[in-house]
Amino acid sequence: MRIVVSQLPDAGRTILVQGDWAIAAAKQALDAEPKQLSGTLTLERHLDMDDKEDGRVVVTGHIAVSASRECERCAEDLELVVDADVDLMYAPTVKDEEPEGDEVKREQEDDDDDILPVHEDDGWYQDDVLELGDVLCEAISLELGPRIVCVDVASCDRRTAELLASKGTSGNPGHPAFAKLKGLG
Ligand SMILES: [Zn+2]
């Protein structure tokens, strides 16, 4: 879903997380078909300290989504659930302008002194259009963490150990040193 930033009403715009765009975005983030998907995202133009618009867009709201996945360690089926508040910021990408020699250089040198209204976590939008699917995808991905594993770590460890053990016995006689140790017992 494409949001034209300059056409956002002053009071902001709230959009339900449903429909094809939302399902597609959730599927991309979860790497699985979402079983459940709901929530709202509210988009507002950001105002700076002087109540002036600075081009950034604030996205707040709540998302709830679930899907069936496999644990990346023990391959057990698990239910992936994301139920989280959303608070993201998107800044316009700087247009490609012809550099004007010294002036540009000076601006860059001054960067250290300026308090730039740019945060590390800011996302970007281009040509006045914010793709809401990308926003949703990012919001879900941020909640997932780097690996998808069982919530029950103890059981996951046990299954993973069993998995490794069963692989170990197939054709691998084990290290001779262990055989010696066994003999000692
Ligand atoms: Zn697991």
CA of 72 to the centre of ligand 1 (A): 6
Beta-carbon neighbour count of residue 131 at 10 Å?
A: 16
Which parts of the chain register pLDDT below 50? Answer: 102, 104-117, 171-172, 185
Q: What is the pLDDT of residues 126-137, one digit of tens each?
A: 999 999 999 999
Residue 132 near residue 41 (C-beta atoms within 8 A):
yes
Q: CA of 122: how far to CAs of 56, 70, 140, in Å? A: 9, 31, 16
CA of 73 to the centre of ligand 1 (A): 5
Structural domain count of the chain: 1
Residue 140 near residue 63 (C-beta atoms within 8 A):
yes
User: Which among 91, 135, 93, 141 is positioned nearest to 117, based on CA atoms?
Assistant: 91
Residue 76 near residue 157 (C-beta atoms within 8 A):
no
Its pTM stands at: 0.73
Predicted pLDDT at 104: 47
Is residue 178 in some structural domain?
Answer: no
Predicted pLDDT at 50: 87
Which range of residues forms the domain containing residue 140? 2-94+117-150
Provide the residues around ligand 1 (an ion) whose CB is within 5 A: 71, 73-74, 76, 150, 156
Predicted pLDDT at 97: 55
Is residue 105 in some structural domain?
Answer: no
Predicted pLDDT at 177: 58
Predicted pLDDT at 116: 47
* DSSP designation for 111: T
Predicted pLDDT at 48: 84
